[in-house]
Amino acid sequence: MRKIFFDIETSNAFQDVGSRDPSALDLSVIAIYDSKIGEYSSYLQDELSKLWPILENADMLIGFYSNKFDIPLLDKYYPGNLTEIRHLDLLAEIKKSLGRNVALDKLAQGTLNSSKSGHGLQATNWWKQGKTDEVRKYCIQDVKVTKGIYDYAIKHGRLKFKEDGKIQEFNIDASKWEKGDKSSITHTLPF
């Protein structure tokens, strides 16, 4: 199964565009991990044409808070329909299991004994300051954390998060994440 783990950073924030709609924002960087080749890569907005064939050939996209943020934002650039590609939003799965949301950094601290390298608004500021390489590194680090959390859930059937200085653990049913249709994509793009 070819899995694409992904994360998006933006060049502006909700207060800049006067809307809470993610598609009103502009993409600065998208980072991915492609399980087929075992590599991380990142793409600026003007490099997205290199990304589309990878997405079209994915069996599953995996993100964190991606149903409500990353997919709607990226879909405004994608010449096809991203909702046609099988997708797993880790945060939605966590909410199903735990009954509430947990920040990615808290999951990283509890599950992976690591942390994110910053936060989204910091990445937006770096972008505005012309620090493209910093934004790429930050976005790739978020993908590494997302992949680590996914892999841990698949292997152990549980996750951990750190809150108020304490590690809390909860079960998560990851048994069906990789089952079902191998691919739900339409391959509508001319690749």
Residue 179 lies in a domain: no
User: Per residue in 136-152, pLDDT tens?
Assistant: 999 999 999 999 999 99
The encoded tokens of residue 128 equal: 């505005």
Domain assignment present for residue 96? The answer is yes
Contact yes or no for 80/86 (Cβ under 8 A): no
pLDDT band at 190 (very low <50, low <70, confident <90, very high): low
Asked if residue 89 belongs to a domain, the reply is yes
For residues 10 and 70, the answer to whether their CB atoms sit within 8 Å is no
Contact between 65 and 91 (Cβ < 8 Å): yes
Report pLDDT digits (tens) over 84-110.
Answer: 889 999 999 999 999 999 999 999 999
Residue 100 belongs to a domain: yes
What is the model's pTM? 0.91
Q: pLDDT by residue (tens digit) across 34-90?
A: 999 999 999 999 999 999 999 989 999 999 999 999 999 999 999 888 888 899 999
The answer to whether the CB of 156 falls within 8 A of the CB of 33 is no
Structural domain count of the chain: 1
Strands 158-163 and 39-44: unpaired
Among 158, 143, 134, which residue's Cα sits nearest to residue 38? 143
Question: Is 157 inside a domain boundary?
Answer: yes
Asked if residue 185 has pLDDT above 70, the reply is: no
Q: Is residue 181 part of a domain?
A: no
What's the pLDDT at 186? 46
Task: Dump strand ranges (E) for the chain.
Answer: 3-10, 27-34, 39-44, 60-63, 87-89, 158-163, 166-171
Q: What is the mean pLDDT of the chain?
A: 90
* Cα separation, 5 vs 61, whole angstroms: 6
> Which residue shows structure tokens 């997919």?
71
pLDDT tens per residue, range 1-34: 999 999 999 999 898 888 999 999 999 999 999 9
Range of the domain at 40: 3-171
Identify each DSSP E strand in 38-165 by its residue range.
39-44, 60-63, 87-89, 158-163
DSSP character for 182? S
Residue 30 domain-assigned (yes or no): yes
Q: Report the distance separating Cα 111 and Cα 48, nearest Å.
A: 32
Measured from the Cβ of residue 20, the count of other Cβ atoms closer than 10 Å reads 8
Q: Give a yes or no: residue 187 inside a domain.
A: no
Q: What is the mean pLDDT of residues 177-183?
A: 70
CATH number of the domain that 51 lies in? 3.30.420.10
Q: What is the DSSP letter of 22?
A: G
